[in-house]
């Protein structure tokens, strides 16, 4: 017996979902998406959003694609997924409103999907926690995210409460779950 073949859409969303899952399972490691730039955010939206989920986004180019998923657009304090293709200091008060969940329902915390540049230059982040071998030094370099964001994240993380973060650089994705401890290097 043969199994039915996946459509292009099913292949793309399946690949994207697996990349997100592995990125959050192995913080700081890079995983590849099939598409880059705006298409990567659309693939993530198609993988995560449906009639029972919600999102927040200020980017007008991406907003139309997010609406096509059938998900509800909600205020930043109520949305399950926040999309920030670019993040600057002006948006930090909005990010601060993102839900960190409760002790009873930590799964109600928001997931932040943030565009940035990964690799050479920028802020060096030293990572530790589940998914990172204790004997390994896991570091990533991130540009185009304000240093104040990392301080805001530090204040928001009160495990099991806190945000899960997906960093997107073109076709590359890196996950930073709330369990990851981050130390900024000078």
In terms of residue numbers, what domain contains 120? Answer: 8-179
Any domain includes 93:
yes
Any domain includes 3:
no
- The predicted structure's pLDDT at residue 111: 98
Token readout for 11 is 């292949």
Identify the CATH number of the domain in which residue 52 sits.
Answer: 3.40.50.11310
Across 22-26, 33-37, 83-87, least confident range: 33-37
Any domain includes 184:
no
Average pLDDT over residues 133-159: 93
89 three-state secondary structure: helix
With contact defined as beta carbons under 8 Å apart, do 56 and 76 qualify?
Answer: yes
Q: Give the mean pLDDT of the chain.
A: 95
Any domain includes 186:
no
Distance of alpha carbon 184 from alpha carbon 186, whole angstroms: 7
- The predicted structure's pLDDT at residue 109: 97
Any domain includes 47:
yes
Any domain includes 137:
yes
DSSP state of 80: S
Any domain includes 1:
no
Any domain includes 108:
yes
With contact defined as beta carbons under 8 Å apart, do 181 and 129 qualify?
Answer: yes
- CA-derived radius of gyration, the chain: 16
Count how many Cα atoms sit within 13 Å of the Cα of residue 58 in the half-sphere of its side chain: 13
User: What is the total count of domains within the chain?
Assistant: 1
Please write the tens of the pLDDT for every residue from 94-145: 999 999 999 999 999 999 999 999 997 889 999 999 999 888 789 999 999 9
User: CA-CA distances (angstroms) from residue 117 to 14, 38, 62, 173?
Assistant: 24, 14, 19, 10
pTM, two decimals, is 0.95
Nearest Cα neighbor of 40 from 13, 18, 58 is 13
- The predicted structure's pLDDT at residue 4: 83
Phi, psi at residue 128, to the nearest 5°?
Answer: -150, 155
């Amino acid at each position: 017996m043969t199994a039915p073949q996946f459509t292009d859409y099913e292949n793309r969303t399946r690949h994207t979902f697996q990349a997100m899952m592995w990125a959050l399972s192995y913080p700081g490691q890079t995983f590849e998406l099939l598409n880059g730039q705006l298409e990567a955010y659309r693939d993530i939206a198609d993988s995560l959003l449906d009639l029972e989920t919600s999102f927040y986004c200020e980017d007008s180019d991406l907003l139309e694609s997010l609406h096509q998923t059938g998900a509800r657009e909600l205020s930043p304090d109520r949305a399950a997924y926040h999309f920030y293709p670019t993040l600057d200091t002006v948006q930090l008060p909005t990010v601060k409103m993102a839900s960190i969940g409760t002790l009873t329902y930590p799964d109600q915390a928001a997931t932040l999907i943030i565009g940035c540049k990964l690799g050479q230059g920028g802020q060096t982040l030293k990572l530790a926690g589940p998914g990172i071998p204790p004997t390994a030094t896991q570091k990533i370099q991130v540009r185009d995210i304000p240093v104040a964001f990392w301080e805001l994240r530090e204040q928001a993380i009160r495990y099991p409460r806190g945000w899960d973060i997906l960093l997107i650089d073109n076709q590359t994705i890196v996950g930073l779950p709330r369990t990851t401890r981050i130390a900024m290097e000078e």
